[in-house]
């Protein structure tokens, strides 16, 4: 069993304290890891600061090779990392292993990006160049729903740009991240990558730390607001990828039987614990009853259970707090709508809730108005697509959305008017390393992925030469 220690300055070190991690499928101990003190956070930042000049001066081609080596090591150890991830996060084992592979894939593809010098003008009067320089020490705060792959979104571009990195995983899912750190520590110079774990007590210290130049945060909107407030004191750069209440707008010209599996897959990946999962389905009255029935049938066919068991489709909620919140939201939905599948928390150990479909529901119910982040989907009837779009856009969140129609011109016109960062047509929740991903309104600030996401980890430096 790994020791799950902290990575500081190229060495695995014990924490000042320890942290128990619970298996959400059994409510028993999944493992114990080191817990960093504020002094150890400072040590990690000092290590990153000390390594910065050498790493920034390393040619980008060499930085790329080192990052690719990290990806290769993770690929070689994906089975172990996936098993650890399932024990602490709860997702089915195949998905845990797939996430480890996903980290490697995204890391390699993001490492393949480049930061060429941009020539704005090259005339007899002047030459104007735009260079991209590292920001400095970057902190990455990673959530509990996808601890590994979301780390990949941050690690590769931060390091490729020449920054050094301090990583803090969520307190309920630190184990796989600490093990990854142990596996890859020799692939990078000491201090370039540092990984610590806390008990939700160091996030504010990271946001306000005077030697950290940027915080890249993925998590809830409420926590993102705190990150932004803490970062304001030193005017550090921030990227915030926060909560969403993504809507799917389903027009009446689609085949309910054909799209029901796609809608279900969009709403229930990782048991609904996905920032860009479909959280609300607005369905035209012409197909409303049929699509509700199809979705209920699919939900009833899914097997929930411990992620290590064969044939399990959905694991538990990741932690007790989220479990209790989702149960409360479903109880409210039972009063304001009609539950046609699920709605039950089985009498067994673990934070399990059956996949839940609710019809005859509308705004005013918590399941529609709030981000549930769990296995429950409201199906809202509409007759006028324009009116439905206006209702969708009234929410304070704007991460993603989707339009479903056999008429691509109509769908595109509606998609353009979604008040969201990404809108898909006839699909939902697709991410690609080469495509920028940004939130709108209270769902985020800044960009991840793609060239634009890489540039978020750089300082633009304009060189203006007189001739």
HEC profile of 44-74: HHHHHHHHHHHHHHCCHHHHHHHHHHHHHHH
Task: Among 1-5, 149-153, 158-162, 301-305, name the one with the lowest average pLDDT.
Answer: 1-5
Contact 207, 226 (CB under 8 A): yes
Going by C-alpha positions, the residue among 355, 329, 323, 352 that lies closest to residue 341 is: 355
pLDDT digits (tens, 9 = 90+) for 383-413: 999 999 999 999 999 999 999 999 999 999 9
Question: What mean pLDDT is predicted for residues 140-160?
Answer: 98
444: left (phi over 0), alpha (psi -120 to 50) or beta: left
Structure tokens at 406: 């056999």
What pLDDT score was predicted for residue 406?
98
Residue 292 known to be catalytic: no
Structural domains of the chain ordered from first start = 6-242+443-466 (3.40.605.10), 247-432 (3.40.309.10)
Catalytic residue among 5, 88, 241, 371: 241
Please state the separation of Cα 23 from the chain's center in Å: 20
Other beta carbons within 10 angstroms of residue 430's beta carbon come to 12
Structure tokens at 467: 């001739």
Distance CA 356, CA 360 (A): 14
pLDDT > 70 in the chain, percent: 100
Residue 275 known to be catalytic: yes
Catalytic residue among 5, 33, 95, 275: 275
pTM of the model: 0.97
pLDDT at residue 424 is higher than 90: yes
pLDDT band at 1 (very low <50, low <70, confident <90, very high): confident
pLDDT > 90 in the chain, percent: 100
């Amino acid at each position: 069993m790994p020791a799950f220690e902290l990575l500081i300055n190229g060495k695995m070190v014990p924490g000042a304290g320890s942290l128990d991690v619970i298996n959400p499928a059994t409510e028993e101990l999944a493992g114990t890891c080191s817990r960093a003190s504020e002094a150890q956070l400072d040590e990690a930042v000092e290590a990153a600061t000390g390594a910065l000049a050498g790493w920034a001066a390393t040619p980008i081609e060499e930085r790329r090779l080192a990052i690719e080596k990290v990806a290769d090591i993770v690929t070689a150890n994906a089975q172990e990392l996936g098993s650890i991830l399932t024990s602490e996060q709860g997702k089915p084992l195949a998905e845990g292993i797939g996430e480890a592979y996903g980290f490697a894939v995204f890391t390699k593809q993001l490492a393949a990006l480049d930061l060429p010098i941009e020539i704005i003008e090259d005339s007899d009067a002047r030459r104007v160049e735009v260079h991209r320089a590292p920001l400095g020490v970057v902190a990455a705060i990673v959530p509990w729903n996808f601890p590994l792959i979301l780390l990949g979104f941050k690690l590769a571009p931060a390091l490729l740009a020449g920054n050094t990195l301090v990583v803090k995983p969520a307190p309920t899912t630190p184990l796989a991240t600490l093990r990854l750190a142990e596996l890859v520590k020799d692939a990078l110079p000491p201090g370039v990558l540092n990984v610590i774990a806390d008990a939700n007590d160091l996030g504010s210290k990271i946001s306000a730390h005077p030697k950290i130049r940027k915080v890249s945060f993925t998590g809830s909107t409420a926590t993102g607001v705190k990150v932004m407030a803490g970062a304001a004191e030193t005017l550090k750069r921030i990227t915030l990828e926060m909560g969403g209440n993504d809507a799917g707008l389903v027009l009446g010209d689609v085949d309910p039987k054909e799209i029901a599996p796609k809608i279900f897959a969009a709403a229930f990946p990782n048991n609904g614990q996905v920032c860009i999962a479909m959280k609300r389905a607005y369905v035209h009255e012409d197909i409303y009853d049929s699509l509700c029935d199809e979705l209920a049938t699919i939900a009833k066919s899914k097997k929930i259970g411990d992620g290590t068991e064969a044939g399990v489709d959905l694991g538990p909620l990741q932690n007790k707090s989220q479990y209790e919140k989702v149960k409360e939201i479903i109880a409210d939905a039972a009063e304001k709508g009609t539950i046609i599948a699920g709605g039950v928390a089985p009498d067994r150990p673990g934070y399990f809730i059956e996949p839940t479909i609710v019809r005859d529901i509308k705004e005013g119910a918590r399941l529609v108005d709030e981000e549930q982040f769990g296995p429950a989907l409201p199906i809202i009837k509409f007759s006028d697509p324009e009116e439905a779009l206006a209702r969708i856009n009234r929410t304070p969140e704007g991460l993603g959305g989707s339009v479903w129609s056999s008429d691509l011109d109509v769908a595109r016109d509606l998609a353009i008017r979604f008040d969201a960062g990404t809108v898909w047509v006839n699909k939902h929740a697709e991410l690609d390393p080469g495509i920028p991903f940004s939130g709108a309104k209270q769902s985020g600030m800044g960009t991840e992925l793609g060239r634009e996401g890489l540039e978020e980890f750089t300082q633009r430096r304009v060189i203006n030469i007189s001739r």
